[in-house]
């Protein structure tokens, strides 16, 4: 952390509180994970400024709650149009601050546009239901219905890996539902959140409805979680931090999207050539820094050797380098610390019966796409979340064996299965202990309107715009006595 100086060459980025850019006493340099160059100076908030942001959201909550649905939808639609106009700029911001290859950054922007579009649509269809009171003897002469009302202030804490779209998954439904937001973006990727905040300001969102507070999690995040005025905390990140948030949140509602080590089952009689490209995308897009990245493959013994050979060959052809180059597929991990951690896990496999068929080392400071076969379940690369371009491939003799291995995990976000057997697909959909079963695709599949969330240590609650709106509203019952 460095003190603010007036002659810095890189641009200063400020907090966004109550519709105004707020300077702080302390700024921290933001470095590119790929080049190491300083790309910005980021304002560091303290507890007092975070509380100021919460107060702004608190004071604006009535304005948002009373805003008609069509107006909330219009603001979100305007953001969609503005983001379409600035899509290339947005993708470059993502790529520069996170080292996400530009092809994937552009895909993230396209998804972000869809997410805000879905949010605009959901703003117009928030409704309750009528209750058949006369189904009970004591209900004769009464009618009743439910309403969905905004919960209040949403405290949103977002990660680095999808710095624009995961912000959208919290901000979009929050605004659609008529809430206000205090957003703490990941320390490595604040530029995307600040960019979006400026678009919302241009779109006419009332001052104080969206406040962006950058700074240390132990200061900003804790202040958000512990403040009684915050009604709900929505967090995407590591299980350890998520558990800490839940312990501190008290009676606040929490939605926690946490870790995973997502698995894919490949049944016999699968055309391996038809699935390799999807497996490559699932395992190595964004350097494997995806919550549902394909990390474990359990291939039937009849197709195992063919899959390993073709998967390895395809991985070795991926271009490694500058994330801003249009054909780069693999670039730098988010930090040197992450590189050291993953290299340690890879080194651990060398003392076992596992075999590294691709990668396992650095190329110009970038971890090569790594494939490890015959990896014991106790190894870190198997049982922990790698969050890196590392995938393990093991042989199984049956679907039942594969499902048992998939379920032997503390995580349960999504799992995939490729099979031509309907019975095996149905069996897997019933037996896999995950929040989402993806049949005939990789577990990395996600579109932004579907319910998304996990079981076990993968978290609580569901995202996906309609489902997030339900989380971000309270149900109220209204009963009329007609007698």
Q: Which residues make Cβ contacts (< 8 Å) with residue 337, sequence separation at least 6?
A: none
Kindly report the backbone phi and psi dihedral angles of residue 104, in degrees, each rounded to the nearest multiple of 5, phi listed first.
Answer: -80, -30
Q: Determine what percent of the chain falls in helix, strand and coil, rounding each to the nearest 5.
A: 40, 25, 35
Q: Which residues pair with 256 in a beta bridge?
A: 235, 460
Give, in order, the Cα–Cα distances in Å from 75 to each of 190, 280, 399, 439.
22, 38, 49, 37
Whether residue 189 contacts residue 31, with contact meaning beta carbons closer than 8 Å, is answered with no
Tokens of 185: 């973006």
- Catalytic pick among 77, 114, 279, 291: 291
Residue 257 annotated in active site: yes
Residue in 330, 250, 345, 320 with CA at minimum distance from that of residue 288: 330
- Catalytic pick among 114, 257, 338, 457: 257
Q: Which residues make Cβ contacts (< 8 Å) with residue 443, sequence separation at least 6?
A: 262, 263, 264, 282, 292, 294, 413, 414, 415, 416, 434, 436
Tokens of 465: 């715009």
Q: Which residues make Cβ contacts (< 8 Å) with residue 129, sequence separation at least 6?
A: 145, 146
Whether residue 474 contacts residue 151, with contact meaning beta carbons closer than 8 Å, is answered with yes
| Rounded (10°) angle between helices 190-203 and 165-176 | 30
- β-bridge pairing 26-31 and 20-22: unpaired
d(CA 3, CA 209): 30
Give the count of beta carbons closer than 10 Å to the beta carbon of residue 281.
Answer: 18
Give the count of beta carbons closer than 10 Å to the beta carbon of residue 394.
Answer: 22
Whether residue 191 contacts residue 97, with contact meaning beta carbons closer than 8 Å, is answered with yes
d(CA 388, CA 355): 18
Interior CA angle at 53 toward 154 and 198, to 5°?
85
d(CA 153, CA 61): 7
Strands in 169-236 per DSSP E: 180-184, 210-212, 230-236
Residue 401 annotated in active site: no
Half-sphere exposure of 140 (CA within 13 A, CB side): 2
Active site residues: 257, 291
């Amino acid at each position: 952390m460095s003190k603010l100086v007036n002659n810095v060459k890189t641009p200063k980025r400020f907090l966004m509180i109550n519709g105004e850019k707020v300077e702080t006493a302390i700024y921290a340099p933001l470095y590119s994970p790929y080049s190491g160059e300083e790309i910005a100076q980021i304002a560091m908030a303290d507890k007092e400024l975070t509380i100021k942001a919460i107060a702004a959201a608190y004071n604006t909550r009535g304005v948002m709650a009373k805003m008609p649905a069509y107006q909330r939808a219009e603001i979100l639609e305007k953001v969609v149009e503005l983001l379409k106009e600035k899509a290339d700029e947005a993708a470059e911001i993502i790529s520069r601050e996170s080292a996400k290859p530009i092809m994937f950054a552009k895909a993230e922007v396209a998804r972000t546009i869809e997410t805000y579009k879905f949010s605009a649509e959901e703003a117009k269809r928030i409704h309750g239901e009528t209750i058949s009171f006369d189904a009970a003897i004591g209900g004769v002469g009464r009618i009743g219905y439910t309403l969905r009302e905004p919960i209040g202030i949403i405290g949103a804490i977002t990660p680095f890996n999808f710095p624009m779209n995961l912000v959208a998954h919290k901000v979009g439904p929050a605004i659609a539902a008529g809430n206000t937001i205090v957003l703490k973006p990941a320390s490595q990727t604040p530029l995307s959140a600040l960019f979006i905040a400026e678009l919302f300001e241009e779109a006419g969102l009332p001052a104080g409805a969206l406040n962006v507070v950058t700074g240390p999690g132990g200061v900003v995040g804790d202040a958000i979680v512990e403040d009684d005025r915050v009604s709900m905390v929505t967090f995407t990140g590591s299980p350890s931090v998520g558990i800490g948030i839940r312990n501190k949140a008290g009676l606040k509602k929490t939605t926690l999207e946490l870790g995973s080590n997502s698995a894919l089952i490949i049944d016999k009689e699968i055309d391996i050539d038809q699935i390799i490209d999807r497996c490559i995308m699932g395992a190595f897009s964004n350097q494997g820094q995806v919550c549902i990245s394909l990390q474990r493959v359990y291939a039937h013994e009849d197709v195992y050797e063919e899959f390993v050979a073709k998967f390895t060959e395809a991985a070795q052809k991926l271009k490694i380098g500058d994330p801003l180059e249009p054909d780069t597929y693999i670039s730098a991990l988010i930090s040197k610390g992450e590189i050291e951690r993953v290299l340690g896990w890879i080194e651990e496999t060398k003392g076992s019966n596992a075999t590294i068929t691709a990668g396992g080392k650095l190329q110009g400071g970038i971890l090569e796409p790594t494939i490890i076969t015959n990896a014991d379940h106790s190894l870190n690369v198997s049982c922990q979340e790698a969050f890196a371009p590392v995938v393990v491939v093991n042989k199984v003799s049956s679907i039942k064996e594969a499902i048992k291995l998939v379920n032997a995990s503390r995580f349960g976000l999504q799992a995939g299965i490729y099979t031509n057997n309907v019975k095996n697909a149905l069996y897997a959909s019933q037996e896999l202990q995950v929040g989402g079963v993806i049949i005939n695709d990789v577990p990395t599949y996600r579109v932004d309107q579907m319910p998304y969330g996990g079981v076990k240590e993968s978290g609580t609650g569901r995202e996906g715009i309609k489902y997030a709106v339900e989380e971000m509203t309270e149900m109220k019952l209204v009963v009329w006595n007609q007698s």
